[in-house]
């Protein structure tokens, strides 16, 4: 009989815990939605065929410019990484007249302005060494300046692992 007296309070406590858990789970989801960038436009089959060999961190597309970003090591970890932006026109010709800068930051906190000029490495590749000070979600915006063209900003998001 005494047991029955506890059922009410126990159920009430469980209900509160479920509500709290619900709120806790909902908050990060909402934040994630707000922080997410506009999805990159998907490349068509012909465009995908222009991808560089090997693993990349993603592709981007702006007008008639296609870009892939890759890293050495292929999975970026805390510390230095050699980032390689590969630029090619939708006509299949590598872009060799660009000035490329990597604008690098975390997406869940800002570490302040961090711009690394990428050196032309030939055949549409532009390379720069970037330092990732923390593991977590990062983005590199490849700023692509070309004579007689509007500046393109191509955003790549990826995770930097602890090691
Ligand atoms: Cu950070």
The domain that holds 51 is classified in CATH as 2.60.40.3340
Q: How far apart are CA 159 and CA 31, in angstroms?
A: 17
- At 42, the pLDDT band (50, 70, 90 cuts) reads confident
Give the pTM. 0.75
Is 88 part of any domain? yes
Is 94 part of any domain? yes
Determine the pLDDT at residue 15. 46
CA of 27 to the centre of ligand 1 (A): 20
SS3 state at 8: helix
CA of 88 to the centre of ligand 1 (A): 32
Is 78 part of any domain? yes
CA of 159 to the centre of ligand 1 (A): 12
CA of 142 to the centre of ligand 1 (A): 20
Determine the pLDDT at residue 7. 54
Give the chain's domain count.
1
Do residues 101 and 115 touch, judged by C-beta distance below 8 A?
Answer: yes
Q: How far apart are CA 39 and CA 21, in angstroms?
A: 30
Tens digit of pLDDT for each residue in 67-97? Answer: 999 999 999 999 999 999 999 999 999 999 9
Is 3 part of any domain? no
CA of 70 to the centre of ligand 1 (A): 21
- pLDDT at residue 110 above 60? yes
Is 147 part of any domain? yes
Look at 61 and 34; give whichever has higher pLDDT.
Answer: 61
Structural domain of residue 153, as residue ranges?
Answer: 45-160
The sign of the dihedral angle between the CA atoms of 40, 143, 113, 79 is positive
CA of 106 to the centre of ligand 1 (A): 6
Determine the pLDDT at residue 6. 53
């Amino acid at each position: 009989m005494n047991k029955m007296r506890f059922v009410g309070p126990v159920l009430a406590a469980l209900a509160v815990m479920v509500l709290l858990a619900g709120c806790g789970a909902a908050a990060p989801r909402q934040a994630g939605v707000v922080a997410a960038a506009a999805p990159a436009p998907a490349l068509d089959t012909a465009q995908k065929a222009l991808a560089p060999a090997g693993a990349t961190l993603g592709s981007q597309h702006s007008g008639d410019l296609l870009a892939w970003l890759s890293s050495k090591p292929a999975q970026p970890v805390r510390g230095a990484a050699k980032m390689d932006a590969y630029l090619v026109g939708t006509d299949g010709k590598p872009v060799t007249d660009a000035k490329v800068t990597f604008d690098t930051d975390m997406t869940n906190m800002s570490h302040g302005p961090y711009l690394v000029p990428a050196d032309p490495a030939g055949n549409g590749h532009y390379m720069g060494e970037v330092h990732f000070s923390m593991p977590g979600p990062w983005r590199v915006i490849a700023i692509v300046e070309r004579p007689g063209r509007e500046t393109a900003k191509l955003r790549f998001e990826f995770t930097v692992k602890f090691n």
